[in-house]
Amino acid sequence: PQPLMQGKRGLIMGVANDRSLAWGIAKALHDQGAEMAFTYQGEALEKRVRPLAATIGAEHVLECDVTNAASIDSVFDTLGKAWGKIDFLVHAIGFSDKNELKGRYVDTSFDNFALTMNVSCYSFTAVMQRAEKLMTDGGSALTLTYYGAERVMPHYNVMGVAKAALEASVRYLAVDLGKKGIRVNAISAGPIKTLAASGIGDFRYILKWNELNAPLRRNVSIEQVGGAGLYLLSDLGSGVTGETHHVDSGYHAVGMVATDQSAQ
Ligand code: NAD
């Protein structure tokens, strides 16, 4: 059979290193024949992203800071000129001041609220405005979210509020772009140790909690996120849009974990 992503081209935004969720997705897409361009944020990460992108033969490795509209425009201009169209896009970008990813949500400052919303939520809409014009044969877009959007998780704070808005924006984007055959979905990933996650207070405890209490009794890997990403970005997911798909060892399904006592 033909590889699932043979002949498809797309943009991966949000690789920082080989532990990034975006890299797990890129590997799965590459294994199925996709051609990808990558963006990186700033020179320090460029040193990490370029060699990774080279391992899978990516030609376009472009700088992009999503707080800068001109920088987003320039990425899509480059791809428009080089490829004419794209088939898929991965948005794996989030940021908040780590001083506010601990303690109480109620203490969030306006400046960090606005910055977190801009980078972690609005940027997906901003890139879809540009991607729409290049997805001339339809397409599939994917963003990354977390269960802290749906329920209160310790320390996730303003990031949880931004992820709730991101998940709502997935539904609105799915409706707006559906007529053009563009699908828009999110993966809600369980906790994984990455650069971004290291900014969250007590992250190791959250990882342990998930491992002990999720139905599968283990944490998820970037390869498992990659598998689900491949499904949503390829034609396997052609009937799916506006969805937030949990890749979290089932944690979202649990209301209360049975102890030995309650199980009797
Ligand atoms: P990561 O640190 O590898 O990736 C985060 C990326 O965001 C980095 O590449 C960083 O450069 C980019 N970024 C931040 N601010 C930016 C800006 N202004 N412009 C452009 N890029 C910017 O960490 P990750 O965990 O792979 O994060 C990817 C996505 O997955 C994020 O949206 C995160 O919230 C989400 N997520 C992570 C977990 C987890 O436990 N790691 C769980 C669920 C969802």
Q: Dump pLDDT digits (tens) for 23-80.
A: 999 999 999 999 999 999 999 999 999 999 999 999 999 999 999 999 999 999 999 9
The per-residue pLDDT for 263 is 59
- Which single residue is written with the structure tokens 């030995």? 260
Rounded CA-CA distance 16/2 in Å is 31
Numbers of helices and strands, H then E, in the chain: 9, 7
| CB contact at 8 A, 211 and 220 | no
Q: Is 172 a catalytic residue?
A: no
Count the neighbouring beta carbons within 10 Å of the beta carbon of residue 21.
26
Q: What is the pLDDT averaged over residues 195-212?
A: 93
The per-residue pLDDT for 262 is 64
The per-residue pLDDT for 164 is 99
Q: What is the DSSP letter of 239?
A: T
Rounded CA-CA distance 144/163 in Å is 9
Q: Is the pLDDT of residue 264 over 80?
A: no
Q: Is the pLDDT of residue 213 over 90?
A: yes
* Residue to mutate (ligand 1; options 38, 39, 95; most atoms within 8 A of CB): 95
The per-residue pLDDT for 26 is 98
Ligand 1 site, CB within 6 A: 14-16, 20-22, 41, 45, 64-67, 92-95, 119, 144-146, 189, 191-192, 194-197
The per-residue pLDDT for 258 is 86
* DSSP-assigned letters across all residues of 109-158: -HHHHHHHHIIIIIHHHHHHHHHHHH-BTBEEEEEEE-GGGTS--TTTHH
Percent above pLDDT 70 for the chain: 98
Q: Is 146 a catalytic residue?
A: yes
Rounded CA-CA distance 65/44 in Å is 13
* Residue-wise pLDDT tens digits, 109-128: 999 999 999 999 999 999 99
β-partners of residue 61 are 38
